[in-house]
Amino acid sequence: MINVTKSYLGNKAKFLNYVDSIYASGWLTNHGPLVTELEERLRDYLGVRNIILTNNGTLALQIAYRALDLSGSAITTPFSFVATTSSLQWEGIRPIFADIDKATWNLDPHTIEARIDGDTQAIVATHVFGNACDVETIAQIANRHRLKVIYDGAHAFSVRYKDQSVFNWGDVSTLSFHATKLFHTIEGGAIVTNDDALAARIRLLCNFGIVDTDIINGIGINAKLNEFAAAMGLCILDDMPLILEQRAEIARRYEQQLGDHFDLQHQQPHSARNHSYFPIALANEEQLLRSRSALNAQGINPRRYFYPSLDTLGHLQPQMPQIQSRTLSRRVLCLPIYPGLPRHIQNTVVQTLLTESVRRTRSRAEQYWPQAGSVGLLNEHRLSLLDPECKRIS
């Protein structure tokens, strides 16, 4: 089965060399030399002031909320992976959903202020599919209402906004280094902040609040990354130029062949792309399910990201319906994209999607002109008189 992504493993010999060094030192976890090296290299690669590695991206979010002493409620997006919201609820913070922008698919800043409640303390936004949020407008809103800003950057590794890391915006950004991500450490994550005092607090929270062997300064948890995970990260970081180049090439091919037929996510101005995903929006859920089934029949497994819209989850009710998110979540399908994806598979994905789209349009046309359909008189002119089954957002 060809899945929506495939974990990149890097050079096996290089990884085993790191493993040999772990065996030689006997240092497996607790801020070992490979974790330290990876933090230093990531700080330089991303262009950020402080980065703290964690053992997954969800704990990174939870620790960020703790480090900022958040309580009450937070404004967040309903169009994201469930961890963005569940991590808030896990920490006793009430999620309040605001709707998304129909073009960028990110949290729409113009919907935020109307949703701010008396106990709201933060905005938690996701750089959806690596597309940077409208960080400047969100910063203005946060300043106006004295709110903290946390960005879920699970998809945004290496993304830059106005020639600097997108992680330099907001009070805190979190990353996921899960095996399915663009850059990964098998399991892992990270927290980024420009605030040195906050970074020191985060480090304590990640290590049970332990200052040294004789001093414990408050509550904490075990969120440390181990040396084997760091070794994988070091191997993959070396190959990031190749990974980004191959993903960009596949994305360009998809966009050239599908861009006139399906709605594509519009890039936030001044935001670079990392091609961590290639999502398309089909005309409706019926077409999505039909297209997914056609791809599944050929051994290809695209993924519904993000479905369902989080404002529909029963355990989060009551919530005001977020119409843009609910509509989009029923239409978006992420296509396979990863280094080494065979060209013939890419071609099959494209052809299958186009065939299903044309089939639906022709079926609708026959409803309008049944006699013409029965004698084969349907033509491109008549098909074009119908609203296209899918079209790019303008």
Q: Which helix (H) or strand (E) holds 172?
A: strand 172-176
pLDDT tens column, 362-392: 555 555 555 555 545 455 444 444 444 444 4
Cα 205 to Cα 207: distance, rounded to the nearest angstrom: 5
pLDDT for residue 153 is more than 60: yes
- Reading the block at residue 392, the tokens are 């790019």
Query: Residue 265: how many CB atoms within 10 A of its CB?
Result: 22
* pLDDT the model gives residue 90: 97
Cα 96 to Cα 112: distance, rounded to the nearest angstrom: 10
What contacts 236, CB < 8 A, 6 or more positions away?
8, 10, 183, 184, 185, 243
Cα 184 to Cα 239: distance, rounded to the nearest angstrom: 12
pLDDT for residue 220 is more than 90: yes
* pLDDT the model gives residue 383: 46
* pLDDT the model gives residue 83: 97
* pLDDT the model gives residue 394: 33
* pLDDT the model gives residue 212: 86
Q: What is the mean pLDDT of residues 240-247?
A: 98
pLDDT for residue 161 is more than 70: yes
* pLDDT the model gives residue 357: 85
* pLDDT the model gives residue 363: 56
pLDDT tens column, 36-94: 999 999 999 999 999 999 999 999 999 999 999 999 999 999 999 999 999 999 999 99
Q: What is the mean pLDDT of residues 245-257?
A: 98
Query: Residue 188: how many CB atoms within 10 A of its CB?
Result: 28
Query: Residue 46: how many CB atoms within 10 A of its CB?
Result: 24
* pLDDT the model gives residue 390: 43
- Reading the block at residue 12, the tokens are 């096996």
- DSSP alpha helices (H): ranges in the chain? 12-25, 33-46, 57-67, 82-90, 135-145, 196-205, 227-238, 240-258, 285-296, 323-329, 343-368, 370-374, 380-385
pTM of the predicted protein model: 0.91
Cα 312 to Cα 120: distance, rounded to the nearest angstrom: 21
User: Are the CB atoms for 191 and 176 separated by under 8 Å?
Assistant: no
Lowest pLDDT segment from 11-15, 83-87, 208-212, 265-269: 208-212
Q: In the 8-state DSSP scheme, what is residue 314?
A: G
* pLDDT the model gives residue 382: 45
Cα 284 to Cα 265: distance, rounded to the nearest angstrom: 16
Query: Residue 15: how many CB atoms within 10 A of its CB?
Result: 17
pLDDT tens column, 329-364: 999 999 999 999 999 999 999 999 999 887 765 555
Q: What is the mean pLDDT of residues 268-292?
A: 97
User: Are the CB atoms for 153 and 127 separated by under 8 Å?
Assistant: yes
